Structure 1
Amino acid sequence: MKIEHNGMLVRIYFSESAHHEHSDTLGLIIAALSKAGFVGASVFKGIEGYGSHRYISSASIIDAYVDLPILIEVVDDEEKVRSFIPTLETILEDGLVTLERVQTLFYRGTPVCG
């Protein structure tokens, strides 16, 4: 079965070393998304990048300090996404958030019984 839906994609970019009040930013954001009722979120770890501090970090360079980029992607209703932004602002101290309207197609298979 195919279900069409208009929603909003939120992308949250930050570095893997990011912390908020001595806690890991990634863990805090994922927990907050779950608590807010988002159906799912995907986390991607970059292999190279830089942020506002302009320090280039790469998984291919042997370095004592590698601080790779993290990306969280979530798609849900625009209202739910926008209502989550104030929570995100309390957690994310250094990062970038992008929002875009998207059309989603959900594919759900027929459950197999037996």
Structure 2
Amino acid sequence: MSGSQTGAATAGRWRPAARLTVLLDEDDKWRHTPLYHEIVRRARDTGLAGASVWRGIEGYGASSHVHTTRILDVADHLPLLLMLVDEPGRLRAFVERNAELFASVNVTLVPVDQWQEGER
């Protein structure tokens, strides 16, 4: 009996994919909406495989002004890291179709190996 007939999971496999990384500031806006939120919303609407946003504890950008959580009062202007994972062509097309969102942020695209679980 195969794994799908017994209800057991079959082995997964690695598949080539890509990771799009966007470095931005939590205060970056797109038409009064947080920029990171607009990127994630459009990624979901496009059907990209996944998106996550992390808040940084310290960083600087083009201004060379360091933003940090080490200051006693509530920190703001902190860096964000947004990651999208999908096929390279789909990520390139997403950035090109939404170029207005990426005009003032740092964007990189690197190949990755993504684990894909087997069927259940």
* TM-score, with length taken from structure 1: 0.85
Q: Which runs of 5+ in 2 are unaligned?
A: 1-10
The 3-state SS of whatever aligns with 1:6 is strand
1:73 matched to 2:76? no
Q: For residues 47 and 86 of structure 1, what CA distance do their matches in structure 2 show?
A: 30
Is residue 17–residue 86 contact of structure 2 (8 Å, CA) maintained in 1?
yes
Q: For residues 3 and 31 of structure 1, what CA distance do their matches in structure 2 show?
A: 29
Change over 3 Å in CA distance of 1:55–1:108 after alignment to 2: farther
- Structure possessing the higher radius of gyration over alpha carbons: 2
Tell me how far 1:4 sits from its aligned partner. 1.7
1:59-98 aligned at under 5 Å gives the runs 59-63=69-73, 66-98=76-108
Runs of 4+ off more than 2 Å: 62-66, 106-110
Tell me how far 1:68 sits from its aligned partner. 0.5
Instruction: Specify which of 84, 93, 110 is matched with residue 100 of structure 1.
Output: 110
Q: Which runs of 5+ in 1 are unaligned?
A: none
Q: For residues 64 and 42 of structure 1, what CA distance do their matches in structure 2 show?
A: 23
